[in-house]
Structure 1
Amino acid sequence: MSLPTMTATWPAYNAVTPRTTLQPAPAHVGLSSPVPFRSALNSRPQSEIGSDASKPKKVEWPPAVRDYVRRAFDADNAIKGISSADMQMKLKATISFYAERDAHDAIDWPTYPLPQELLQEERRMAALTLSTGAQTNGHANPLSSPPTKKRKSQDSEELAALQADATIPPWRKTNLGSRMTFDAEGHTDKRHKKNAASGDAFSKFDQADLDKRRQRFQLGNNSNKTTPPWGSPRKEEDDASNAPVIGTNQALEKSYFRLTAPPKPETVRPLHVLEKTLIMLRQKWKAEKNYNYICNQFKSLRQDLTVQHIKNAFTVKVYEIHARISLEKGDLGEYNQCQTQLKALYALGLEGKPEEFKAYRILYIVYTCNKSDMNDMLAELTLADKSHPWIKHALDVRSALALGSYHKFFKLYLAAENMGSYLMDMFIERERLNALANISRGYANVTLRFLTDELGFDNDETCREFLESHGAQNMIEEKTNEKNGVHFQVKLRDVATLFESLRAAAFRKVDIKGQI
């Protein structure tokens, strides 16, 4: 059965051509979530812990945070000398810090330093402080100097007081009244003397140098975001770290590198250069289809927009085009990063295609089988949203699967607009196995043509390849009769158990890449 060519109905500026021919669905690849990954994300912020600790409150972490945790546990990002336990502790502290302030969406997690990098920088700065602070303003560091040198560093008044005290007989030093009544004033004086002594030792460090080191450390680890998890800097330092960068770079192409320090203006491209870059990238994508290059350039473009705090219609266009290209290539990780940012940009009232990406989001949640996110999504939709044809199509897909109507589902699959068919390709194999398991319960034998029509295949050959790739090659027979001529028959009853097991395995798999 040949399919009619689908006409693109989405914006002309888009650099991606919607799918015109349906390809076999890609295999569903399963990934099990590593134990440290779960433990890190299951650590709840203090603000969400109630008096009843036996009833923990489930926390739905943003996708960017989940990807940040995954990269933290990636073996390629391990740093020698940073133990896994220390890294996990730092990771929990960082995530909890921003969770308590409800600031997860304000952090650019793809560029935020990993916990092992934060620990490495902290240790480096601590070592630098000890080494450079030992000799400041000509005074010895009281933490590293021998005990005999402390006496020499004391001033003349302290020495005179000690000498005078040494001439007083021991019986005159005892305050019997204080011992009997626990005189508060006497104890307060002792505490003041003790604090003054420790303050005098600390004053031997140059305060200006300490402030400079503290500022360098905080700026080096917190490029342009909110309060860092290792402390609360002064307001002036916080304002400096949050100030947007004004780019001066004029190059159209620039590779993406994760920021580990505040960006320099000469490495950031201003808005008018970024607009030219987008035009160039659209042309290159149409001509070359080199996804690795395009993805790298788009990430760099998005980074330059972020560090300059640019949020306008152009920003929306960049994220929309990158999301569509990622969907076309099946890169759900990049798509989900774009989807998350687009949701925040649409909330600002910026011009774009929110209906199109709301429909994609519904289909994505259908793929992840996340009932909680689906309930949240349905609660956000307005009556106008539900009447929009793109969003209505996505809701019909959800409804068909919820009701088990595979016949309606595959008709919706063939009628998907824009990039919806690419998203449905992510879970089409899973639903075909589900439909085959249901069909095998009610039919003993069916024709191959029947399965081709019911499961939304392009032709009989594609349907046969699907069945054979799942172990049903011996159940396809060639039949001949006067009415239908030569045709193929599938003995479903003999493979019913096989399809039941395949369906169970398909729904057990969870692809955590890019998952919400």
Structure 2
Amino acid sequence: MTAPPPWRAVGGSGNSSYTAVDARRTLGGSVPTGGFSTNQTSPPPASAPATAPATAPGAPRTTFPDPLKQYVARTFEDVLPEDKKDVETELKRIITDAFNERVVWSLDWDKMPLPQTILAKKRAQMKQEMTPPAMASTTSGDTSPTAKAFGKFSISDKKRKSEDDNTASSSATKFSDRFDKRARQQSPYSSSTAIDKLSQREKEKRARRFGDGLQSVTPPSRNTSAMDIDGDQPLVGRCMSLEKKYFRLTSAPDPDNVRPLHVLEKTLELLKKKWREEQNYSYICDQFKSLRQDLTVQHIKNNFTVLVYEIHARIALEKGDLGEYNQCQSQLATLYSEGFTGHEEEFKAYRILYLLHTCNRADMNEVLALLTPVDKTHQSIRHALEVRSALAAGNYHKFFRLYLDAPSMGGYLMDSFVARERMAALACICKAYRPDIDIRFLTEELGFESDTECVQFLCDNGAADLIEQKSGDKGVPSSIRFQTLKAVRIFEEAKARAFKKVDIKGQM
């Protein structure tokens, strides 16, 4: 194992491989003993550099090869005073790296460039890399002596091409990368700005390496029928068709397939007419989704947009499509907050009823906190608040009266959770009315339209065997009774199942 350099030896306090002297400031006088004269023409004897310091018994002794000593002597033969500090730093780094790479004895120090030569090349390279690419390309054929490799020890970024040197390419590349990195970090001529420019130049050099292949690639021509809009300008459609099927977008929209605003207004009138005449929900829903998509891709937000979403939401409520309704409701809340006018109070009431269906107490508290005193005077909102109070108090009698008297389209929303509330009401009735009760009472109390509908509801929930018909004195059927005492367990379990999971498809 090769010992480390003397200045890195633990506990070593010996002399360095050369003697530092002050520069001559006058023409006269003698050269200090042990120094090197500026007009010296022949290298000093091999014994001029100091040998490794004496070490304690048993410790490894650091020695230097004679070519290295001569290399150090040549370094200080013609060094300028202002460059002395930089040359010393560069020399120490070269010798340290040679020791670390274990090539100090195998390296041809006679052919090794001097530190000042290496520094001059680095400064020239930095200037070259800071020039424009056109100017830098004129110096690409530089073949200076510092670009050579010496065994396993290299100080250049250029790749070696000889077969002999390829055997040591791995270690040389590793050493070269570390060499250049340390040089950039330690060089007093580098700065944060220069390093930033240097890394940018490295990127450009890498791009030029693949320049021949990239120049042959030309950008594809843009189809005039595809989307061709400025990023700062909204898309304007050119399609004149009133009806268009809905397709989920998987790429940029094509203006030729998007209808402009004046065509969309005619489309809405056509859809309203077809809904009144045909009642084909699948077709109407598809057309409304296509209409909404065209509004969205063109960034159209106005009162017409509010009208489209309101009509689609009402149709979805009528057909019990809560998922589609909630998508419309979410967009309406955003449009109302941006100042566009519509039936805001009506849809606030629907929002409260929808949250009762989903049992979303957190959002319910938020909606209630945003209601103004004026909002609470609106008929639909006042009705929705009363429904909420009835459910919170467990007052099923008031709840079903409100269900039958729901304004606007609130009854369609209440249809989504009225069956669940009937389960809870029946569980309560079966505990309070024993041993049986008249079916007519249940019909009126639970908001059924007829006794037949009430009986069907009981049968659907597994209580068919608990319905019996009672006759009078002469055998004439007098009433239909429901055995509440035996039905307690059935409706307690049905209530638990009904409140266990709520369908919240499309909920915000």
What is the TM-score when the length of structure 1 is the normalising length?
A: 0.60
Q: CA deviation at 1:162?
A: 5.3
Q: Could you tell me how far apart the structure 1 residues matched to 2:391 and 2:319 are?
A: 25
Residue identity opposite 1:427 in structure 2: F
Q: CA deviation at 1:511?
A: 1.1
Match of 1:257 among 234, 247, 265: 247
1:141 corresponds in structure 2 to none
> In the alignment, is residue 452 of structure 1 matched against residue 443 of structure 2?
yes
> In the alignment, is residue 200 of structure 1 matched against residue 205 of structure 2?
yes
SS of equivalent to 2:481: strand
Match of 1:183 among 179, 182, 186: 186
Q: Could you tell me how far apart the structure 1 residues matched to 2:217 and 2:311 are?
A: 45
Match of 2:346 among 335, 356, 360: 356
Q: Could you tell me how far apart the structure 1 residues matched to 2:290 and 2:253 are?
A: 12
Q: CA deviation at 1:245?
A: 1.4
Q: CA deviation at 1:347?
A: 1.5
1:513 corresponds in structure 2 to 505
2:392 corresponds in structure 1 to 402
Q: How many pairs were matched up?
A: 341
Given the superposition, is the C-alpha separation of residues 275 and 435 from structure 1 closer, same or farther in structure 2, using an over 3 Å criterion? same
Q: Could you tell me how far apart the structure 1 residues matched to 2:266 and 2:398 are?
A: 45
> In the alignment, is residue 165 of structure 1 matched against residue 147 of structure 2?
yes
SS of equivalent to 1:249: coil
2:334 corresponds in structure 1 to 344
Residue identity opposite 1:452 in structure 2: T
> In the alignment, is residue 436 of structure 1 matched against residue 426 of structure 2?
yes
2:323/2:504 contact within 8 Å kept? no
Given the superposition, is the C-alpha separation of residues 195 and 265 from structure 1 closer, same or farther in structure 2, using an over 3 Å criterion? closer
Residue identity opposite 2:205 in structure 1: D
Residue identity opposite 1:201 in structure 2: R
SS of equivalent to 1:243: coil
> In the alignment, is residue 469 of structure 1 matched against residue 472 of structure 2?
no
Residue identity opposite 1:429 in structure 2: A
Q: CA deviation at 1:196?
A: 3.5
Bigger Cα displacement from structure 2, 356-365 vs 191-200: 191-200
Q: CA deviation at 1:261?
A: 2.4
Q: CA deviation at 1:168?
A: 9.0
Q: Could you tell me how far apart the structure 1 residues matched to 2:196 and 2:308 are?
A: 62
Q: CA deviation at 1:460?
A: 0.6
1:374 corresponds in structure 2 to 364
Given the superposition, is the C-alpha separation of residues 374 and 214 from structure 1 closer, same or farther in structure 2, using an over 3 Å criterion? farther
2:391/2:399 contact within 8 Å kept? yes
Bigger Cα displacement from structure 2, 323-332 vs 242-251: 242-251
SS of equivalent to 2:288: helix
Match of 1:324 among 314, 317, 332: 314
2:260 corresponds in structure 1 to 270
Q: CA deviation at 1:183?
A: 3.3
Q: Could you tell me how far apart the structure 1 residues matched to 2:204 and 2:420 are?
A: 69
Cα offsets for 1:296-330 (capped at 9, x unmatched)? 11111111111222222211111111000001111
Q: CA deviation at 1:240?
A: 3.0
SS of equivalent to 2:364: helix
1:286 corresponds in structure 2 to 276
2:148/2:154 contact within 8 Å kept? no
1:32 corresponds in structure 2 to none
Q: Could you tell me how far apart the structure 2 residues matched to 1:167 and 1:442 are?
A: 102
Given the superposition, is the C-alpha separation of residues 192 and 300 from structure 1 closer, same or farther in structure 2, using an over 3 Å criterion? closer
Given the superposition, is the C-alpha separation of residues 441 and 211 from structure 1 closer, same or farther in structure 2, using an over 3 Å criterion? farther
Residue identity opposite 1:200 in structure 2: K
Given the superposition, is the C-alpha separation of residues 396 and 208 from structure 1 closer, same or farther in structure 2, using an over 3 Å criterion? farther
Q: Could you tell me how far apart the structure 2 residues matched to 1:308 and 1:318 are?
A: 15
Unaligned runs of 5+ in 2: 1-135, 157-175
Map 1:96-115 → 2, pairs under 5 A = none
Given the superposition, is the C-alpha separation of residues 183 and 311 from structure 1 closer, same or farther in structure 2, using an over 3 Å criterion? closer
Q: Could you tell me how far apart the structure 1 residues matched to 2:300 and 2:426 are?
A: 50
Q: CA deviation at 1:269?
A: 1.3
Residue identity opposite 1:462 in structure 2: E
Q: Could you tell me how far apart the structure 2 residues matched to 1:162 and 1:184 are?
A: 20
Which protein, 1 or 2, shows the higher relative CO under an 8 Å CA cutoff with sep ≥ 6?
Answer: 1
Q: CA deviation at 1:386?
A: 0.7
SS of equivalent to 1:427: helix
